Structure 1
């Protein structure tokens, strides 16, 4: 195995690690971990997935706004996000990541209900020193099942 292959693999793992931090930050309700995945001027666009689920969700701009909005929107839910099939292209200090993310949402006060989404994440990242950060994330939905009112806290 060549050293170039090993280096390329290490870079790709570092890129997908940003998405792992993003997902774990949400699931663990760890605002610092979530923030550690984002650039200060990050953009998160959940509109394509939200439209397929039958509701509107604004484009979120800025790390602090994204962290606050996601933390508030999901505060009454237990969530699990599973990242799979990452495909990564690196060009210097920028990268493009496509992945499937399965997101389960369960109300803490009613475990009999759930909402499960399989989403495609289209992520643009930048390298800052040794760490990769999400600059833009667009989320589209592949399929969904369960009770969509779970997301609105109903």
Structure 2
């Protein structure tokens, strides 16, 4: 599942232009994942939507299977944005922290793996919360000067708390 290349950059160190382009791409690739997390945390529809390609897929099924939930595979940027924000807005506060990012780039496509810690806290009852440590496997595509998520698969290494803080009862 993880990107395990032995070097961060693939551009030759002697090719300054290629190095600069790859560093820019890597920053934009990371930014797509940051827009995904912060868009949820702020309940910012435009920011959240900017993380996805129009034909994106979000697969939370592997993570949810750990506690017996069966969410659908979400397909299409509009479906993903509407579903996630409707599930959280006014009901759940979230925070997302991203770490251990690894990236490979192949032309106009890229793959990113990361660990994401996601906190979900019910607004009406702060004693109901769920904290998850999730490996993310992300396929991205170039969209002009930025990168967007085409496919995001979220697994779960561990969780603590009450998963109803995420999906409800």
Structure-1 residue corresponding to 2:51: 37
Of 7-16 and 112-121, the range deviating more from structure 2: 7-16
Partners in 2 of 1:130 and 1:6 — Cα distance? 14
Aligned pairs, number:
154
Separation (CA, whole Å) in 2 of partners of 1:17 and 1:152: 26
TM-score (norm 1): 0.95
> In the TM superposition, what are the counterparts of 1:104-143 in structure 2 within 5 Å?
104-143=119-158
Report if the CA contact (8 A) 1:31-1:67 is conserved. Answer: yes
Q: Which has the higher strand share?
A: 1
Instruction: For 2:168 and 2:70, locate their aligned partners in 1 and report how far apart those are by CA, in whole Å.
Output: 15
After TM superposition, the score normalised by the length of structure 2 is 0.87
Instruction: Write the distance in 1 (CA, Å) between the matches of 2:93 and 2:75.
Output: 24
1:129 shift after superposition: 0.9
Q: Give the 4+ runs in structure 1 shifted more than 6 A.
A: none
Gap regions ≥5 residues in structure 2: 1-12
What residue is the counterpart of 1:87 in the other structure?
Answer: 102
Matches of 1:50 and 1:81 in 2, distance apart?
17
Within a 5 Å distance, the mapping from 1:91-106 to structure 2 comes to 91-106=106-121
- Alignment partners' CA distance in 2, 1:26 and 1:10: 24
Larger Rg computed on CA atoms:
2
Per the TM alignment, residue 128 of structure 1 is displaced from its structure 2 partner at its CA by 1.2
Q: Distance in 1 between matches of 2:163 and 2:29?
A: 31
Gaps of 5+ in 1: none
Tell me what 1:64 maps to.
78
User: What RMSD in Å do the two structures reach over aligned CA positions?
Assistant: 1.3
